[in-house]
Structure formats: structure tokens, C-alpha cells
Amino acid sequence: MNPAIFNELSIILLITVVVTGFIKILKQPAIIGYILSGILAGPFVFNIIDSHETLTAFSHIGIALLLFLVGLNLNPKVIKDVGKISLITGLGQVIFTTSIGFVIVKAFGFSNITSLYIAIALAFSSTIIIMKLLSDKRDLESLYGRISIGFLIVQDFIAIVILLVISTFNNGVNIASMAFETILKGAGGILVLFLLTIYLLPKLTEIIAKSQEFLLLFSLSWCFVIASAFHYLNFSIEAGALLAGITLSMSPYHFEISSRLRPLRDFFLILFFIILGSEMMFSNIFVNLPAILVLSFFVLIGNPLIVMILMGLLGYTKRNSFLCGLTVAQISEFSLILITMGVSVGHLGSNILSFVTAVGLITFAGSTYMIIYSHKIYPKISKFLSIFERRGRKVDEHKYHEKDDHHIIIFGYDHIGLDVMESLKKIKKKFLIIDYDPDVITKLSKEGYDCRYGDANDSELLDELNLSRAKMIISTIPEIETNLLIMKKVKLVNKKAIIVVVSHQIEEAERMYEEGATYVILPDFLGGKHFSTLLERNKLKMHKFVEEKIAHIEHIKNRKNLSHKHISRYHK
């Protein structure tokens, strides 16, 4: 092995660790760190990349593995699950973004083919980044989270089709004369794959899956062999890798394959983004800075507006429309791969790759902060968003109760909420359940409970609820910001209500007691079952809960003191 390549890679990865660590502190996606690391390692700063061809080959392996895993998780049956709203919004947003984007790019003097490529690149959003952000916010199961993931899947399908079409082009080839032959070869290749998927792969994977190491080896070889075969048929290696993944998506072992290949994919994909950053042409960026800023603004603001308009026309609330809209406020890793393929087939100059990468950096950073702080942004602009909302009943309200005279309102249905509900039935008090998971609300409504879909972070939802009539408010949501908002809203209209909240931290429990909580459930120390016992014993008598509160605060202080003493002894 050439030690120079190893040393070079070591330095590059060390730079990437430092830069990406700093990016993580800023709560930004790692992809920004990878691209910035490439810029630092490239000719404009440290100029340490000499083995460019080797690293480029590694980066292409990363793209192939990315598309293989995308195909692996794109079971054709998934299209039925994304729903009407995801299909309409996904298709509509791509069409409108591409059309408007083409006009904007063309206005800056780019050619038709370049304008079309850039406009299409602007239309795709990053499924990887959005999945990570929604997961961190615990919003994947919310209605807006499900719709967002749905139309991002639709976008992925569109991107895949476009990448397959581009892969049929070769620089310098007469497309008209090659089209019929390419179609025949491609159709033949796909037919063979289809037959293998039905008759060979199920039996083969069942035998191979008995050894996890052999399953990994087989999956890699399947990806590379099919990718090479399709490259021989005039398609790109990436297109072949994608189809190889789709053929294994029906396998019951696709989750195991995906989980084992993901770290390998991530390593090679990191090199792709590093190489991408190292090839950025800053002179080109400065020349096109006005166009970059305008297109970045279009993606950050225009894409969300398009989604909000479409969802508003379909009868969704402005809040869900707004939250879904933010998830398309950045371009995708597919956007960068699309432009890379456009350069490789000779449709675009390499300067366009730097141009789109710059848009990517701006939109990755901007949209991340927008999504992280969406619950704080929405209340400040909600009154201006009413134009995106149709009058009358909304399709996403999911309100399963007639009157608003509930004695108790419960925010969040989980194990604690289940215990509380059982106790409430025993003391025969009328209660309303609020949850942000539409499946939970549908299930509870079928069981005859009064319930309503909604997010406790939604200030407008809290205003709509009849908090002034409630005798007890229970929140099983462990986030302190959410509980503080609920307490603030309740205290404004109903100072006599018993407010019960949940916390996993002693310090946060103390803070919520200071802010007016009547009782704080600490599941790690004192579970929901205990509170259910208190509820049955004390019913809705405020003075009884105040007594419990005083005793609980004293208990928390004692636990805290014991914890500090234990730590002191440990350090001694």
C-alpha cells in the first residue's frame, strides 16, 4: 500500500473530525462539515489532496452505496402508504419549484440545459437531514412529520427516475441513434433482474442470511455486480446500484443488510462531500453570488410557500402546512449527485457544481435552524399565515368530542397517560385526551374516548381548548418548554386548576414547581402508577395535592443532597 495515500487520508479525516465537531456544536447537519473540510483540504487553503483520483473513486463508491441503500428501503409497496396528500404535495412542489426555478436561473443568463438542471436540483429536499431533525425533535410520528416523510419519499422516486434517465446519456454519443438500443438493453436488464428477484433471490438470501457476515458480503457483491452490469449496458454505475437495492427491498432481510452497510456507506459518502468541497471554484462563486443568494432565498422561502399553498388548498391547517413547508427549505444530497452526473455526461461545466454546492451550504444551514426553532417561529408569524388556510373544518383537525366541558385535559398518551386514564375512569371524571400522533387519536376515538389531535406546543390549540372550565390539567410530555407553555396558558385563564406535569430531571422539576406546577411526576424516581394512586385517593381536591407537593419538594431536595454527597465521596 502507498503510505502517502494513507497519511493524506489520515490528515483529511482529522480535519473533518474537528470541523464537523464544531458544526455539531452549532446544531448543523454533518454534511456541511464534510464540505467545509473539503474546502480546507483543497487547493485554496491547505492543498493536501494529491491522491485525487483514488479519493474520487472512493467517493463514487459512496454514491453507489447511497443509492443501493435508497433502493433497499424503497419497497414498491411504500407508494400506497404515503397517501394522497404526500403524493400531491410531492409532485406539485417538484413541478412548481422546477418551473419557477427555471425562470429565475434563466434570468441570470444561464443556458436552457443548465437552467433546467439547476431548477431540478432546487426541487429536491434532503430526506437524510429531515429524518434526523424530525427524529431529534421526536416529531416523526406527528401528522406533519408523516406527511413530510411521505412527500420526501415521492421526491426520492422522482429523483431516481431522473438519475436513471441521465445515466443513459454519454458524452459525445448520438442520443437519437443510441436511444432504441439503450431502451432495449435497459428493459432486458430490468426483466432479468425482475425474474431473479422472484425466483432466485428469496431462496438465496434465506440460505445466506444464516451468517450475518456472509449476508453482508453477498449484499456488497450483488450491488457491485449489478452496478457493473448496467454500466456495461450504457447506464451509470449509480443507476445499477439503485436497481440492485430495489431488487433486495422485498427481502425480509433488507433491514439487516441496510443496518450493516450504513456505516460503510457513510464513510465513502463523507469522501464524496469532501471531494465536492475541494473542487469548489471560489472565483465562480463570487461572480455568481447574486444568483446564489437569490436561489438560496427561493429555496428557503419559496419552497415552503409552495407546500403551504398546496396543503392549504387541500384543506389542512396553517400550522401543519407551515411545519411541512419548512422540511423542503433545503436542497438534497440527490441535488448534488444530479449535478455531478450532469458534469460527468458533459451537459454541465464543473463550475455549476460549485454554484449548486454553495446554494446547498446556505440552505442546509438556514433550514436546519428554521426546523429546530419552528415551534418558536410559528407563534410570531401565525397571524400572517391565515391566507394559506381554507375556511371551515380542516381535514387534519381530528376532533372526536362534541362538548368542551371536560373536568380534566390530558396532553400526551403513553404509559403514564394510560395509568392516569384508568384512575380517572374509576373516579368517574370526564376527560379529554390531546395527542400529536394521529394513529393514537384514531385508536382512542374507536374505543369511545373524547380525544383530539394536536400538539401541546401549539399556542393556538391551547387557546381553543376550554382551559377555564377544567379542574385538572395533566401533561405526560417530558419537555420543560412545552410544560411551561401549558402552565402559562392555564394560569392566565384558570388559577384554580390543578396542574400536573412530567419531568425526567430533578432540576427541571424544581423549576416547574417554581413556575406554578401543582405536582411533578418524576418517572425515573416516582412513576405514573404512584400518581394514579394519588389521583384515586385525593380526587380533584387542591389542598390535598398542595400537601403532596410540599412533601414531594422536600423529597426532591433530600435526593439531591444525597446525590451530591455520593459524588463527593466518589471523587475523594
- Which has the minimum average pLDDT: 112-126, 256-270, 380-394? 380-394
pLDDT at residue number 305: 93
Look up residue 211 and give its DSSP letter: S
Query: CA-CA-CA-CA torsion for 340, 345, 348, 350, nearest 10 degrees?
Result: 50
| Beta strands, E only, 282-412 | 399-400, 408-411
The answer to whether the CB of 514 falls within 8 A of the CB of 501 is no
| CATH 3.40.50.720 residue window(s) in the chain | 403-571
Confidence of residue 566 (pLDDT cuts 50, 70, 90): very low
Give the residue among 466, 463, 462, 460 at the shortest CA–CA distance from 475: 462
Report which residue type is found at 283.
S
Confidence of residue 103 (pLDDT cuts 50, 70, 90): very high
pLDDT at residue number 252: 75
pLDDT at residue number 301: 93
- Give helix then strand counts, H and E, for the chain: 26, 7
Look up residue 342 and give its DSSP letter: H
Confidence of residue 418 (pLDDT cuts 50, 70, 90): low
368's CB contacts (< 8 A; 6+ apart) are 27, 28, 29, 129, 133, 330
Mean pLDDT of the chain: 80
Confidence of residue 564 (pLDDT cuts 50, 70, 90): very low
- Which has the minimum average pLDDT: 19-33, 508-522, 527-541? 527-541
Domain topology for 3-67+85-170+266-387: Na+/H+ antiporter like fold (1.20.1530)
pLDDT in tens, 185-226: 556 666 776 777 676 777 777 777 777 788 888 888 888 888
Report which residue type is found at 375.
H
Confidence of residue 300 (pLDDT cuts 50, 70, 90): very high
| CATH 1.20.1530.20 residue window(s) in the chain | 3-67+85-170+266-387
* Whether the model pTM is above 0.75: no
SS3 114: helix
Whether the predicted pLDDT of 178 surpasses 50: no
pLDDT at residue number 182: 54
SS3 445: helix
Count of C-beta atoms within a 10 Å radius of residue 469 = 14
SS3 17: helix
Whether the predicted pLDDT of 107 surpasses 90: yes
pLDDT at residue number 95: 92
Tell me which range, 165-179, 243-257, 430-444, is most confidently predicted by mean pLDDT. 430-444
Count of C-beta atoms within a 10 Å radius of residue 27 = 13
Give the residue among 15, 71, 53 at the shortest CA–CA distance from 270: 15
* 77-85: average pLDDT: 60
Let me know if domain 403-571 sits in CATH 3.90.1150.10: no
pLDDT at residue number 173: 45
SS3 447: coil
Whether the predicted pLDDT of 133 surpasses 60: yes
pLDDT in tens, 232-263: 776 667 777 877 887 777 777 777 788 888 88
The alpha carbon of residue 325 and the mean position of all alpha carbons in its chain are separated, in whole angstroms, by 13
- Residue 284 C-alpha cell reads as 465562480
Whether the predicted pLDDT of 1 surpasses 60: no
3-state helix, strand, coil in the chain (%, to 5): 70, 5, 25
pLDDT at residue number 567: 37
What is the percent of the chain where pLDDT is above 70?
A: 83
* 415-426: average pLDDT: 68
Report the first-to-last Cα separation within the chain, whole angstroms.
Answer: 50
pLDDT in tens, 146-170: 888 888 888 888 887 787 777 666 5
